[in-house]
Amino acid sequence: MENQTTHQLPPHVFVLFGATGDLARRKLFPALYQLHRKGSLADGISIVGTARSEYTHEAFRDEVHKALKEFVKEDIEDAVWQSFAKRIHYVQGNVDRLEDFERLRDFVLELEQKADHGGNRMFYLSMAPRFFGETALYLKQSGLADTKGWRRLIIEKPFGHDYASAAELNDQLATAFAEEEIYRIDHYLGKEMVQNIEVIRFANSMFEPLWDNRSIASVQITSSETVGVEDRASYYETSGALRDMIQNHMLQMVMMTAMEPPSRLRTEAIRDEKVKVLRSLRRYSVDEVKNYVVRGQYTAGQMNGKAVPGYLEEPNVAPNSQTDTFVAAKLFIDNFRWAGVPFYIRTGKRMPVKSTEIVVQFRNMPKHLYFNQAGNLGPNLLVIRINPVEGMYMQLNVKRPGTDNVVVPIAMEFSQSADKSPEAYERLLHDAMIGDSTFFTRWDEVSLAWKFVDPIAEAFRTGAAPLHTYAAGEWGPQAAHDLVKENPGLWWPVYGDQTPSVETVVSRERANAVEVKY
């Protein structure tokens, strides 16, 4: 909750497990480099990468340099790189072996003798989740987690596979780290506009009085991807869209949209309010799931005029796979503020547009003076654009100039270049380094999210909720459109990196948009 540019981050040794992996190369080293380039990293911050591969310090630095050249948007300035490289070290080790943790501990102690790191240690687990619990135990047994300063554990997703496995993992972590020392990553919470939801809601007097079931008809949250499963089938076959996106990112956006104002802008006050949303989230039994949740899988289709294969034809996918590549759901938050307002969420692969947007649709006027007039009268929308464009717009109705009563929708728009915003991982690393866990997930959030998701996963597993198909390049199966048929009648279009053309939106969907019944 602090300004990222105003102060230096506290000294510590940053130990990165899985330092040779994809996430480290694409996101974590670029994020650390940006923090260094901006002068946020204090002298006493050293980075120690570890993994099984053999590297000297020098050879590992070369690998990091290559990764930065590939994944950092700007050119890497040599002087900046040289000073960043001095922070980087590498210790080979296997997380299955206690003796490798002891070697790592000795190296960290050596570094701490050479420079003042304040006795602080950060451990980032960027490796397969099956290693998380064991690594935490070895951190404790090897003495690496024993330090006179602070110690923190950042842990990647997924946090468990269901409630039972998440609880087991949490118990393992709890033997070595206290809850306030554990930083569970949900990188959506590091996104500029996700963090901005709170500000838009709680810093603008025009929204909060309208932010409830008296004024809001529905909320739609879409997070769509154009890519297919790519080379991630071995992971995706066990997760599907439900575990990959709904349990974490989509529910986080629901929480941010629906939470009550916190009593203070303090981490636990904010997280308390988020958790209350999950407590009020209506849970579906296995038998009810089919009425509220649609699962889909893409078949062969066209993306930008190019033929692409179906999910079942992708490498390493089982020929009879039932994995969901699309999930849409109608949620209800049964509390005073939201009773009766549907929250629709949908996420999928091979959608026509890559986009993450939240559409808040306000109720129609009690009487439409302008109903049946020429024009395109539509409901007021507040659209929060999270990715790839960062911004928001409000859709309002105005009179078309020069006409008597021809009503047209216009968009009041604000957008900012996502290029100027720090990447989510940069922001989250920064927050963890200052000990701010606001935008990390607390155990009760994770556990309640799994308790909501588990019966849905069970309905998927047993076939109690049918698997629908959709052609690549479509907005999911027909059943997902049927889900919104009564209210509001359509999924509002999302625009990806395009500018919303409001007149087009409403005229395209005119029948539905105008004749909504509540």
Verify binding: residue 95, ligand NAP, rule CB under 6 A.
yes
Under rule CB under 6 A, residue 461 binds ligand NAP: no
- Both tokens of 140, joined, read 């404790």
Sign of CA dihedral 283, 286, 292, 295: positive
Q: Is 373 one of the binding residues for ligand NAP (CB under 6 A)? A: no
Q: How many CB atoms lie within 10 A of CB 398?
A: 11
Give the residue ranges of DSSP H helices in 248-313.
251-258, 267-280, 289-292
Q: How far is the CB of 518 from ligand NAP (least distance, A)?
A: 39
187 marked among binding-site residues: yes
Residue 257 near residue 219, CB atoms below 8 Å: yes
Using CB under 6 A as the criterion, what x/- string covers residues 5-24 for binding ligand NAP?
Answer: -------------xxxxxxx
Specify the residue, 153 or 513, whose C-beta has the smaller distance to ligand NAP.
153
Residue 201 counted as an annotated binding residue = no
Active site residue 249: yes
| Cα first-last separation, the chain | 39
Distance in angstroms (rounded) separating the CA atoms of residues 341 and 283: 15
Least gap, CB of 140 to ligand NAP (angstroms)? 17
357 lies in the site for ligand NAP, by CB under 6 A: no
Q: How far apart are CA 461 and CA 480, in angstroms?
A: 19
Q: How many residues does the chain have?
A: 518
DSSP string covering 266-277: SHHHHHHHHHHH
Q: Is 52 annotated as a binding-site member?
A: yes
Q: How far is the CB of 135 from ligand NAP (least distance, A)?
A: 8
Asked whether residue 162 is marked as a ligand-binding residue, the answer is no
Instruction: Return the amino acid letter for 166.
Output: A
Classify residue 480 as exposed, middle or buried by CB count within 10 Å of its CB (0-12, 13-18, 19+). buried
Q: How far apart are alpha carbons 106 and 143 in whole angstroms? A: 10
Nearest distance, CB of residue 88 and ligand NAP, angstroms: 15
Shortest distance, position 71 Cβ to ligand NAP, whole Å? 11
With beta carbons less than 8 A apart as the criterion, state whether 260 and 190 touch: no
Q: Min. distance of Cβ 157 from ligand NAP in angstroms?
A: 5
Q: Does the annotation flag 146 for ligand binding?
A: no
Does 354 show up as a binding residue in the annotation?
yes
User: In this complex, which beta carbon is closest to ligand NAP, that of residue 129 or of residue 261?
Assistant: 129
- Shortest Å distance, C-beta 9 to ligand NAP: 22
Of the candidates 12, 249, 368, 468, the residue annotated as catalytic is 249
Write the secondary structure of 310-362 as one string of H (helix), E (strand) and C (coil): CHHHCCCCCCCCCCCCEEEEEEEECCCCCCCCEEEEEEECCCCCCEEEEEEEE
> What is the rounded distance in angstroms from the CA atom of residue 144 to the CA atom of residue 158?
24
Residue 324, C-beta contacts closer than 8 angstroms, at least 6 positions apart: 240, 241, 242, 295, 296, 297, 460, 467
Q: Which residue has the closest beta carbon to ligand NAP?
A: 21
Q: Is 260 left (phi over 0), alpha (psi -120 to 50) or beta?
A: beta
Residue 100 near residue 135, CB atoms below 8 Å: no
Determine if residue 274 is labeled as part of a ligand binding site: no
| Torsion angles phi and psi, residue 8, rounded to 5 | -90, 150
Compare residues 43 and 230 and give the one whose CB is closer to ligand NAP: 230
Site pattern 97..136 for ligand NAP (x: CB under 6 A): -----------------------------xxxx-------
Candidates 1, 2, 5, 52; binder of ligand NAP (CB under 6 A) is 52
CB of 22 or CB of 208, closer to ligand NAP: 22
User: Does residue 51 interact with ligand NAP by CB under 6 A?
Assistant: yes
Binding to ligand NAP (CB under 6 A): which residues in 154-193? 156-157
Instruction: Name the one residue in this structure whose structure tokens are 């629906």.
Output: 258
Contacts with ligand NAP by CB under 6 A lie at: 18-24, 51-53, 94-96, 126-129, 156-157
Question: Can you say which residues are annotated as belonging to the binding site for NADP(+)?
Answer: 18-25, 52, 157
Positions annotated as catalytic residues are 249
Question: Can you say which residues are annotated as belonging to the binding site for substrate?
Answer: 187, 191, 225, 244, 349, 354
